[in-house]
Amino acid sequence: MTRALPPGLSRRLRRGASVAAAGVAVLTLAGCSDDDGSVAEGASPEEVLTLAKETLDETTGVQITLEADDLSSDVAAGIRKATGVGVHPPAFEGEFDLSVNGIPATAEVIAVGGTVYARNSLLIPDWTAIDPGQYGAPDPGELMSDDAGFSTLLTDTTEVEERGEVRGGEANDEIYTQYTGTVPGETVANIVPSASGDFAASYTISEDGELREAQLTGVFYKNDGEMTYTIRFSEYGTEQDITAP
């Protein structure tokens, strides 16, 4: 072990991860802990991603923005942008900007208890239960689950490398660390169901072990080329009561 863990990450070490692989990594970190529970040094990039997964899985809620860099008009149904609040137990409330046969459409969305409700001022003015797969989208509530949501990207990433520090935050006064790696298509398909093949991933993680940004580049839609989705997370600890409309 040769690299010191950023000081804030030590505060995020808890009992163990929710999946076996995550648990192994956390136990390894525990072996490097001082008597007061802080991690003295030696966390690998994989261990940092495991801690970031744990942090996202344990927060009460978080603000989420997902945005495509260039969604082709040839895509039958795809996500241009999504914004909202994701909470635990897994639920989501927000807005999706979609492209349906090249035509833009915006819908308010509530996903809770395994059902997705949407409304659109033109087509479905009243809250209606829908199948999000028809629009190239997942169940937004499941994006916060610990076994099929955003956090699984972190621990399913292979060939992880640290890429150095960058500044960020509202006042550009926070220090983040960037990591890159490769994520299999079956994991990314939990985020965009039509995703296939391997994806290049880039993560920005704060000193407190919070995933602040994830970038995924690859083939998200059938018969379309590579594109990038950027997913941003902020306001960890958000509390919002999301219920069916």
**Residue 75 to residue 99: CA distance in whole angstroms:** 8
Q: What average pLDDT does the chain have?
A: 84
What's the confidence (pLDDT) of residue 25? Answer: 40
- pLDDT of 39 > 90? The answer is no
What's the confidence (pLDDT) of residue 43? Answer: 84
For the chain, how many helices (H) and strands (E)? 5, 11
Which phi and psi angles does 51 have, rounded to 5°?
A: -65, -35
User: Residues 95-124: what's their mean pLDDT?
Assistant: 91
* Segment 144-182, tens digit of pLDDT: 999 999 999 999 999 999 999 988 777 777 889 999 999
User: Residues 195-202: what's their mean pLDDT?
Assistant: 97
- pLDDT of 1 > 50? The answer is no
User: Residues 70-87: what's their mean pLDDT?
Assistant: 91
What's the confidence (pLDDT) of residue 18? Answer: 37
pTM of the model: 0.82
DSSP alpha helix (H) spans, 181-223: 185-188
41-45, 90-94, 118-122, 233-237: lowest mean pLDDT where?
41-45
Query: Which position has the higher pLDDT, 7 or 69?
Result: 69
Residue type, 145: S
Six token digits for residue 100: 């349906």
Counting Cα atoms < 13 Å in the Cβ hemisphere of 134 gives: 5
User: Residues 70-86: what's their mean pLDDT?
Assistant: 91
What's the confidence (pLDDT) of residue 35? Answer: 38
- pLDDT of 5 > 90? The answer is no
**Cβ atoms of residues 203 and 159 within 8 Å:** no
- What 3-state class would DSSP assign to 33? strand
**Cβ atoms of residues 62 and 234 within 8 Å:** yes
- pLDDT of 99 > 50? The answer is yes
What's the confidence (pLDDT) of residue 14? Answer: 40
- pLDDT of 42 > 60? The answer is yes
- pLDDT of 9 > 60? The answer is no
Give strand ranges (E) for the chain: 61-68, 77-87, 91-100, 103-112, 115-120, 124-130, 158-168, 174-183, 196-206, 211-219, 227-234
What's the confidence (pLDDT) of residue 13? Answer: 43
What's the confidence (pLDDT) of residue 36? Answer: 32
Six token digits for residue 227: 């594109």
Q: Domains along the chain?
A: 7-58 (no CATH), 61-234 (2.50.20.20)
- What 3-state class would DSSP assign to 30? helix
Give CA separation, 100 vs 96, 105, 109, 134, 137, in Å: 12, 7, 16, 10, 11
Q: Which residues pair with 218 in a beta bridge?
A: 227
How far out from the chain centre does Cα 56 lie? 8
Q: Which residues pair with 112 in a beta bridge?
A: 91, 115
Which of 56-65, 94-103, 170-179 ranks highest by mean pLDDT? 56-65
Say if residue 60 is exposed, middle or buried (CB neighbours under 10 Å; 0-12, 13-18, 19+).
exposed
